[in-house]
């Protein structure tokens, strides 16, 4: 089992990071909070190739071998708890963790807020209730620790300064990788950028996840 990957950040998108370690490039699936943390780290350093560390979760199936990465053990534990619920696969788990912060997810589940969970694509009312029933006690035991603040309070790369077309392209690409059809994703992104052209890629994706 891979506990973590530490190496040079070679590539970064809102849904994946490529980390070069020991001469190998590991493609790691990530959620938006992890993207924000990595983008902020890269922005503060002023150059690409920053050394980063992600705690890893391997998803091994007959036809695939995927890695998911998180900036804290608490986030990884939350992801593992979500994907332990019947009907919640890794992609849906990642979408939940992209739509809300780790602390928000813990509060949503602990307080039984099924409506908030139902805002995520693929989460119907029954599934939301199942998540709450299965994890209500579990999430309160997850230690998000000081690392949570390190993720959510970090300065983020201001991608909103990029041209709107570039922001749209990256946002639609990320939404497509998350399982949304390109055409409706493009329409939602266009609507959001028309209302506020200064939105960052991360903000566009986060808002789109609640609209698609």
Contact yes or no for 108/119 (Cβ under 8 A): no
Mean pLDDT across 152-173? 58
Kindly indicate the confidence band of residue 64, based on its pLDDT and cuts at 50, 70 and 90.
Answer: confident
Residue 47: burial class (beta carbons within 10 Å; 0-12, 13-18, 19+): exposed
In angstroms, the CA 6 to CA 4 distance is 7
Q: What is the pLDDT of residues 11-34, one digit of tens each?
A: 999 999 999 999 999 999 999 999
Taken in order of first residue, the domains within the chain and their CATH numbers are 4-70 (2.40.50.140), 73-144 (1.10.150.20), 159-209 (1.10.8.10)
Please give the span between the terminal C-alpha atoms of the chain, in angstroms, as a whole number. Answer: 35
Give Cα separations from 147 to 100, 107, 144, 183 (angstroms): 16, 17, 7, 37
Provide the token pair at 27: 């493609």
Position with higher pLDDT, 103 vs 151: 103
Residue 170 pLDDT level (bands cut at 50, 70, 90): confident
Backbone angles phi, psi at 21, to 5 degrees: -140, 125
pLDDT in tens, 91-129: 999 999 998 889 999 999 999 999 999 888 778 889 999
In whole angstroms, give the CA distance from residue 69 to residue 191. Answer: 31
Of residues 121 and 202, the one with the higher pLDDT is 202
Q: What is the C-alpha separation between 117 and 124, in angstroms, rounded?
A: 8
């Amino acid at each position: 089992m891979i506990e973590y990957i530490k190496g040079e950040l070679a590539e970064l998108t809102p849904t994946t990071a490529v980390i070069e370690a020991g001469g190998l490039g590991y493609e790691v699936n990530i959620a938006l909070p992890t993207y924000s943390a990595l983008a902020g780290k890269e922005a503060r350093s002023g150059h690409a190739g920053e050394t980063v560390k992600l705690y890893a979760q391997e998803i091994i199936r007959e036809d695939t071998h995927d890695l998911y990465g998180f900036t804290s053990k608490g986030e990884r534990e939350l992801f593992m708890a979500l994907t332990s619920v019947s009907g919640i696969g890794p992609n849906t788990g990642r979408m939940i963790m992209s739509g809300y912060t780790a602390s928000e997810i813990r509060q949503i589940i602990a307080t039984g807020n099924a409506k908030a969970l139902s805002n995520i694509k693929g989460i119907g009312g029954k599934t939301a209730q199942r998540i709450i029933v299965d994890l209500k006690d579990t999430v309160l035991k997850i230690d998000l620790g000081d690392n949570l603040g390190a993720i959510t309070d970090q300065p983020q790369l201001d991608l909103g300064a990029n041209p709107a077309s570039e922001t749209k392209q990256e946002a639609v690409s990320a939404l497509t990788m998350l399982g949304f059809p390109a055409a409706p994703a493009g329409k939602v992104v266009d609507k959001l950028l028309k209302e506020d052209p200064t939105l960052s890629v991360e903000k566009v994706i986060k808002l789109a996840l609640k609209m698609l």
